[in-house]
Amino acid sequence: MNIQTPILEVRHLHKHYPKIKAVDGIDFSVPTGICFGLLGPNGAGKTTTIEMMEGIIRPSSGEILYKGEPMGPRFKNEVGIQFQSTALQDFLTVREHLNFFSRLYPKNMSVDELIEICSLQAYLDRDARKLSGGQRQRMLLAIALVNDPEIVFLDEPTTGLDPQARLNFWELINRIKARNKTVLLTTHYMEEAYKLCEQIAIMDHGKIIAQGSPNQLLAEHFQDVIIELPASDFPVAAQTLPHRRLEKVTPMIEISTRDVNATLAELLQAGASLAGLQVRPRSLEDLFLELTGKGLRP
């Protein structure tokens, strides 16, 4: 493989159902060794896209290339897919699951390595049905890695996990990346995408509406920063500042500014208390809202 050849390339990909264009002509490429995030609101077409890339459903038209060639048996041997928990066998322990799935592939990562990477030491003899959400996701990740894949597909792997379990899972993804594996991730969590992904593509209505590195996209779309302060501290005299109320989320006011000093001076002059004030850069969540007009809540 030429060093420049992306590990995966999607060209003019469509998936049309009788009543909907689930995926409507998308193009992107995934360089080797990065974490690539596919983002979008509910129904955007992420799962349909990822399932075509995994070879689970057939595109209506377009093509997907693996290492520059149409997907074939080589791809099947070199891909790892994190299954949903329904793929687990009743009554088997974590160790038994890893042994069971390892035997299905000619090429393996050793069970000891899987245990180490996915931090499963403490649960090896536990019945898989008795694992917490975070522990189950770690075991499913280990199963996705049994064939020592070059590319790993993770479809919303942290949905429903508590913040600590999500943080633990991010650490595992970083361990996988450190082994030069490519990760294809879908997520509803913008912070997750920002922390893990070198590149993202944002989908809506079956199309890609933005793609690039998170920081590059933020720089392209925003030149301002946000000043946040409690709505109760926002004086009437400052209403001319460009602001928006977040009443539905928190009783806060967000003020967009390119000149923080000038805006702070204006707020003080209008009699605002700055005690509860925060200044933050624009986030991927802001970008997502701006591009799709929708909040991201799993």
Q: Which residues bind ligand ATP (CB under 6 A)?
A: 17, 20, 22, 40, 42-48
Q: Which is nearer to ligand ATP, 16 or 126 (CB)?
A: 16
Q: Which is nearer to ligand ATP, 42 or 61 (CB)?
A: 42
Smallest distance from ligand ATP to CB 38, Å: 8
Nearest in space to 241 (alpha carbons), one of 250, 230, 231, 254: 254
d(CA 142, CA 100): 12
Contact (CB, 8 A) for 285 and 190: yes
Angle subtended by helix axes 133-144 and 163-178, to nearest 10: 20
Smallest distance from ligand ATP to CB 26, Å: 11
Radius of gyration of the chain (CA): 22
Burial class (CB in 10 A: 0-12, 13-18, 19+), 149: buried
Q: Which DSSP category does 89 fall into?
A: P
Smallest distance from ligand ATP to CB 27, Å: 17
Q: Which is nearer to ligand ATP, 20 or 124 (CB)?
A: 20
Smallest distance from ligand ATP to CB 84, Å: 12
Give the pair of three-digit tokens for residue 234.
């926002």
Q: Which is nearer to ligand ATP, 46 or 97 (CB)?
A: 46
d(CA 2, CA 18): 40
**Beta pairing partners, 10:** 28, 64
Smallest distance from ligand ATP to CB 6, Å: 22
Q: Which is nearer to ligand ATP, 48 or 182 (CB)?
A: 48
